[in-house]
């Protein structure tokens, strides 16, 4: 018999994840503060709950996909939260990007209550979540991973079991560090190339043929900022939030992060100029504006 599944947090990522669970036949109970995505999920067959706690009470497996550490803490550990309402033997899965020390606290509290906990933060973008193509970085026991895997396969195409509880979120922070910091230094390099009067196409041809290239510049920027598209897939605000988590977590672990700290201030500067809601590849345009050079664009391929 299929276990009843709950989903809390139906934002850009959570809506896509939950929609795929519905479409693939899982019995779902959902909650979000915004009624619009709840109505969408009801049209797909989900049941709506009045609170996060009601989702937990109705579900053997509960997912959260929430925007901040504070919101996860409230939903997980609050008096009407998941752990207060979910039955013993349940499984609680957090897909959010949060302070890893909170992940550790939730896992410890869950264990005391006889509830299994898994951290399974996401890779890729909301468009991938909508298509069922998410990437998951999973921290779990082998037993809990086996229980969870069919649901992850319904929502994603790439699933990495990173190790025990807490390894998923820490892997996510390392991954996002590289992706976000590369946006910051790409922006400076592109602005410099334009100040030098270089051809964007020829510069990229050289860079992509050497070890200087990176995935952001070669794939994401080619599809986003270099075409003039800065509609958000992953925003500057979220990049700043994640770099703050990363630098703080590194400080706790006694790992110096001077490059990360500088990159965070670059994103902070972009936010103060009103660019926080743009895609983080827009850092390329922002740095060219600061350098007083034209924003570079690639010619459309015919």
Q: Is 263 left (phi over 0), alpha (psi -120 to 50) or beta?
A: alpha
Q: Which tokens go with 128?
A: 């991938």
Residues in the chain: 302
Q: Which tokens go with 48?
A: 């709506």
Residue 218 among the catalytic residues: no
Instruction: Read off the DSSP letter of residue 82.
Output: H
Among the listed residues 66, 67, 10, the one whose alpha carbon sits nearest the alpha carbon of residue 42: 10
Q: Name the phi and psi angles at 240, rounded to 5.
A: -65, -45
Instruction: Calculate Rg over the CA atoms of the chain.
Output: 21
Q: Which neighbouring-strand residues pair with 1?
A: none
* Cβ-based neighbour number of residue 300 at 10 Å: 6
24, 149, 172, 278: the catalytic one is 172
DSSP reduced 3-state for 222:
helix
DSSP reduced 3-state for 156:
strand
Return the exposure string of 51-85: e unless at least 16 CB atoms fall within 10 Å of the residue's CB, then b. ebbbbbbbbbbbbbbbbebebbbebbbeeebbbbb
Q: Where in the sequence numbering do the catalytic residues fall?
A: 172
């Amino acid at each position: 018999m299929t276990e009843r599944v709950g989903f809390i947090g139906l934002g850009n990522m959570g809506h896509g994840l939950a929609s795929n669970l519905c479409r693939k036949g899982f019995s779902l109970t959902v909650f979000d503060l915004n009624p619009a995505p709840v109505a969408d999920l009801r049209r797909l067959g989900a049941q709506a709950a009045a609170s996060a706690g009601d989702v937990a009470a109705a579900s053997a497996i509960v997912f959260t996909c929430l925007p901040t550490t504070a919101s996860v803490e409230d939903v997980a550990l609050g008096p009407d939260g998941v752990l207060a309402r979910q039955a013993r033997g349940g499984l609680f899965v957090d897909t959010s990007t949060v302070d890893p020390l909170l992940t550790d606290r939730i896992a410890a509290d869950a264990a005391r209550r006889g509830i299994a906990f898994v951290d399974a933060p996401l890779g890729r973008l909301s468009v991938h979540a909508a298509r069922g193509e998410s990437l998951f970085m999973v921290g779990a026991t082998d037993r809990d991973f086996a229980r969870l895997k069919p649901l992850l396969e319904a929502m994603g195409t790439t699933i990495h079991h990173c190790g025990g509880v807490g390894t998923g979120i820490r892997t996510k922070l390392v991954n996002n560090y590289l992706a976000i910091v590369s946006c910051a230094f790409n922006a400076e390099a592109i602005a410099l190339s334009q100040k030098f009067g270089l051809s964007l196409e020829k510069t990229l041809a050289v860079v992509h043929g050497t070890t200087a290239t990176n995935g952001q510049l070669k794939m994401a920027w080619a599809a986003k900022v270099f075409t003039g598209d800065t509609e958000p897939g992953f925003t500057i605000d979220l990049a700043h939030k994640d770099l703050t988590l990363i630098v703080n977590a590194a400080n706790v672990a006694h790992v110096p992060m001077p490059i990360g700290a500088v990159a965070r201030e670059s994103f902070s500067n972009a936010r103060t100029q009103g660019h926080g809601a743009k895609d983080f590849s827009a850092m390329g345009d922002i740095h060219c504006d600061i350098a007083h050079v034209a924003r570079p664009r690639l010619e459309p391929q015919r």
